[in-house]
Amino acid sequence: MRDREIVVASGNPGKLREFAELFSGYQVGILSQSAFSVPEVEETGSSFVENAIIKAKHAAVATRRAVIADDSGIEVDVLNGEPGIYSARYAGETASDGDNLQLLLKNIAAAGAQKPTARFQCAMAYVRGNDDPHPMVAQGTWQGYIIDEPRGENGFGYDPVFYVPTHDCTSAELPPEIKNAISHRGQALRTLLKMMKEANVLS
Protein backbone atom coordinates (compact mmCIF):
# COMPACT_ATOMS: atom_id res chain seq x y z
CA MET A 1 0.00 0.00 0.00
CA ARG A 2 1.29 3.44 -0.94
CA ASP A 3 1.23 5.94 1.88
CA ARG A 4 2.06 9.04 -0.12
CA GLU A 5 2.07 10.49 -3.60
CA ILE A 6 4.66 12.61 -5.32
CA VAL A 7 4.02 14.50 -8.52
CA VAL A 8 6.70 14.42 -11.19
CA ALA A 9 6.86 17.75 -13.00
CA SER A 10 6.99 16.21 -16.46
CA GLY A 11 4.71 14.85 -19.10
CA ASN A 12 7.48 12.92 -20.83
CA PRO A 13 6.42 9.23 -20.81
CA GLY A 14 10.00 7.97 -20.90
CA LYS A 15 11.03 10.11 -17.95
CA LEU A 16 7.94 9.09 -15.97
CA ARG A 17 8.73 5.40 -16.52
CA GLU A 18 12.24 5.99 -15.20
CA PHE A 19 10.95 7.73 -12.07
CA ALA A 20 8.42 4.96 -11.41
CA GLU A 21 11.18 2.34 -11.72
CA LEU A 22 13.58 4.30 -9.52
CA PHE A 23 10.91 4.69 -6.80
CA SER A 24 9.70 1.09 -7.06
CA GLY A 25 11.25 0.10 -3.72
CA TYR A 26 9.36 2.75 -1.77
CA GLN A 27 5.73 3.09 -0.70
CA VAL A 28 5.23 6.06 -2.98
CA GLY A 29 2.80 6.67 -5.80
CA ILE A 30 4.32 8.56 -8.72
CA LEU A 31 1.92 10.86 -10.57
CA SER A 32 2.47 12.91 -13.70
CA GLN A 33 1.72 16.60 -13.60
CA SER A 34 -0.38 15.90 -16.69
CA ALA A 35 -2.94 14.22 -14.40
CA PHE A 36 -3.55 17.68 -12.91
CA SER A 37 -3.48 19.52 -16.24
CA VAL A 38 -0.46 21.49 -15.11
CA PRO A 39 0.68 23.72 -17.98
CA GLU A 40 4.32 23.76 -18.99
CA VAL A 41 6.31 26.53 -17.38
CA GLU A 42 8.89 28.64 -19.18
CA GLU A 43 12.37 27.51 -18.20
CA THR A 44 14.01 30.86 -17.63
CA GLY A 45 16.90 29.66 -15.47
CA SER A 46 20.52 29.84 -16.55
CA SER A 47 21.40 26.41 -15.15
CA PHE A 48 19.95 22.93 -14.74
CA VAL A 49 19.49 23.58 -11.00
CA GLU A 50 17.56 26.82 -11.51
CA ASN A 51 15.26 25.23 -14.07
CA ALA A 52 14.59 22.19 -11.88
CA ILE A 53 13.51 24.45 -9.01
CA ILE A 54 11.35 26.57 -11.31
CA LYS A 55 9.52 23.47 -12.57
CA ALA A 56 9.11 21.96 -9.10
CA LYS A 57 7.63 25.10 -7.56
CA HIS A 58 5.35 25.71 -10.54
CA ALA A 59 3.88 22.19 -10.32
CA ALA A 60 3.57 22.41 -6.53
CA VAL A 61 1.50 25.58 -6.80
CA ALA A 62 -0.79 23.95 -9.37
CA THR A 63 -1.17 20.55 -7.64
CA ARG A 64 -0.77 21.52 -3.96
CA ARG A 65 1.31 18.38 -3.53
CA ALA A 66 4.93 17.40 -3.04
CA VAL A 67 6.79 17.55 -6.35
CA ILE A 68 10.00 16.25 -7.86
CA ALA A 69 11.31 18.00 -10.94
CA ASP A 70 14.46 17.47 -12.88
CA ASP A 71 16.19 19.42 -15.56
CA SER A 72 18.58 17.39 -17.60
CA GLY A 73 20.40 17.55 -20.87
CA ILE A 74 23.47 16.66 -22.81
CA GLU A 75 26.65 18.68 -23.19
CA VAL A 76 28.92 18.02 -26.17
CA ASP A 77 32.45 19.35 -25.86
CA VAL A 78 33.05 20.01 -29.56
CA LEU A 79 29.88 22.14 -29.56
CA ASN A 80 31.11 24.15 -26.55
CA GLY A 81 28.66 22.42 -24.23
CA GLU A 82 25.60 22.63 -26.47
CA PRO A 83 22.75 21.86 -26.32
CA GLY A 84 23.01 21.97 -22.49
CA ILE A 85 19.95 23.44 -20.81
CA TYR A 86 18.30 23.75 -24.24
CA SER A 87 18.49 19.99 -24.93
CA ALA A 88 14.72 19.44 -24.92
CA ARG A 89 14.12 22.30 -27.35
CA TYR A 90 17.37 22.28 -29.32
CA ALA A 91 15.60 22.18 -32.69
CA GLY A 92 12.78 24.51 -31.58
CA GLU A 93 10.05 24.79 -28.96
CA THR A 94 7.86 22.15 -30.64
CA ALA A 95 10.72 19.87 -31.71
CA SER A 96 10.45 16.11 -31.23
CA ASP A 97 13.18 13.93 -29.74
CA GLY A 98 14.05 12.88 -33.28
CA ASP A 99 14.34 16.49 -34.47
CA ASN A 100 16.70 17.35 -31.62
CA LEU A 101 18.83 14.26 -32.17
CA GLN A 102 19.19 14.87 -35.90
CA LEU A 103 20.20 18.51 -35.36
CA LEU A 104 22.81 17.40 -32.83
CA LEU A 105 24.31 14.92 -35.29
CA LYS A 106 24.24 17.53 -38.07
CA ASN A 107 26.09 20.09 -35.95
CA ILE A 108 28.67 17.53 -34.81
CA ALA A 109 29.28 16.51 -38.42
CA ALA A 110 29.68 20.18 -39.40
CA ALA A 111 32.30 20.52 -36.68
CA GLY A 112 34.22 17.64 -38.25
CA ALA A 113 34.27 15.61 -35.06
CA GLN A 114 34.09 11.85 -34.64
CA LYS A 115 33.05 10.30 -31.35
CA PRO A 116 33.09 13.65 -29.52
CA THR A 117 33.13 13.47 -25.75
CA ALA A 118 29.87 14.35 -24.05
CA ARG A 119 28.05 14.05 -20.77
CA PHE A 120 24.48 13.92 -19.55
CA GLN A 121 23.78 16.30 -16.68
CA CYS A 122 20.83 16.14 -14.30
CA ALA A 123 19.69 18.44 -11.52
CA MET A 124 16.76 17.24 -9.43
CA ALA A 125 14.69 19.30 -7.01
CA TYR A 126 12.13 18.16 -4.42
CA VAL A 127 9.67 20.52 -2.77
CA ARG A 128 7.28 19.44 0.00
CA GLY A 129 4.62 21.86 -1.20
CA ASN A 130 4.05 25.17 -2.86
CA ASP A 131 5.40 27.11 0.13
CA ASP A 132 8.57 25.06 0.73
CA PRO A 133 11.35 27.66 1.24
CA HIS A 134 14.18 25.14 1.06
CA PRO A 135 14.01 22.77 -1.94
CA MET A 136 16.24 19.70 -1.76
CA VAL A 137 18.57 19.62 -4.76
CA ALA A 138 20.79 16.81 -6.06
CA GLN A 139 22.87 16.45 -9.21
CA GLY A 140 24.36 13.68 -11.36
CA THR A 141 26.77 13.47 -14.32
CA TRP A 142 27.18 10.63 -16.83
CA GLN A 143 30.22 10.62 -19.11
CA GLY A 144 30.38 9.15 -22.62
CA TYR A 145 30.62 10.19 -26.25
CA ILE A 146 28.40 10.63 -29.29
CA ILE A 147 28.19 8.14 -32.15
CA ASP A 148 26.88 9.07 -35.60
CA GLU A 149 24.17 6.41 -36.00
CA PRO A 150 21.34 5.88 -33.47
CA ARG A 151 21.33 2.45 -31.82
CA GLY A 152 18.90 0.82 -29.45
CA GLU A 153 15.18 0.97 -28.67
CA ASN A 154 15.22 1.78 -24.94
CA GLY A 155 15.33 5.21 -23.39
CA PHE A 156 14.40 8.47 -25.07
CA GLY A 157 15.86 11.77 -26.21
CA TYR A 158 19.56 11.50 -27.03
CA ASP A 159 19.95 8.00 -25.57
CA PRO A 160 20.33 6.28 -28.98
CA VAL A 161 23.53 8.23 -29.80
CA PHE A 162 25.05 8.46 -26.32
CA TYR A 163 27.72 5.77 -26.14
CA VAL A 164 28.62 4.40 -22.72
CA PRO A 165 32.24 3.12 -22.82
CA THR A 166 31.93 1.19 -19.56
CA HIS A 167 29.20 -0.99 -21.08
CA ASP A 168 30.22 -0.91 -24.77
CA CYS A 169 26.79 0.20 -25.99
CA THR A 170 24.52 3.21 -26.23
CA SER A 171 22.25 4.32 -23.42
CA ALA A 172 19.29 3.15 -25.53
CA GLU A 173 20.75 -0.37 -25.65
CA LEU A 174 20.97 -0.70 -21.87
CA PRO A 175 18.28 -2.59 -19.94
CA PRO A 176 16.31 -0.10 -17.79
CA GLU A 177 17.61 -1.50 -14.51
CA ILE A 178 21.24 -1.02 -15.60
CA LYS A 179 20.61 2.43 -17.02
CA ASN A 180 18.92 3.52 -13.79
CA ALA A 181 21.91 2.25 -11.81
CA ILE A 182 24.48 4.34 -13.68
CA SER A 183 22.70 7.23 -15.40
CA HIS A 184 22.82 10.90 -14.51
CA ARG A 185 19.17 10.75 -13.41
CA GLY A 186 19.76 7.61 -11.36
CA GLN A 187 22.74 9.22 -9.64
CA ALA A 188 20.80 12.39 -8.85
CA LEU A 189 17.76 10.53 -7.56
CA ARG A 190 19.79 8.24 -5.31
CA THR A 191 21.41 11.30 -3.76
CA LEU A 192 18.00 12.95 -3.42
CA LEU A 193 16.48 9.83 -1.86
CA LYS A 194 19.25 9.81 0.74
CA MET A 195 18.50 13.45 1.54
CA MET A 196 14.77 12.70 1.75
CA LYS A 197 15.33 9.78 4.14
CA GLU A 198 17.62 11.87 6.33
CA ALA A 199 14.85 14.48 6.48
CA ASN A 200 12.26 11.77 7.33
CA VAL A 201 10.39 12.37 4.09
CA LEU A 202 10.84 8.69 3.17
CA SER A 203 11.18 5.63 5.38
Residues noted as catalytic: 71
Q: What is the chain's percent helix, strand, coil content, to nearest 5?
A: 40, 25, 35
In whole angstroms, what is the distance from residue 75 CA to residue 62 CA?
A: 31
Which long-range contacts does 162-167 make (Cβ < 8 Å, 24+ apart)? 162/74, 162/118, 162/120, 163/115
DSSP summary character for residue 172: G
- Bridge-based pairing of strands 169-170 and 117-127 is unpaired
Determine phi and psi for 131, rounding to 5 degrees.
-115, 20
In whole angstroms, what is the distance from residue 72 CA to residue 115 CA?
A: 21
In whole angstroms, what is the distance from residue 184 CA to residue 131 CA?
A: 28
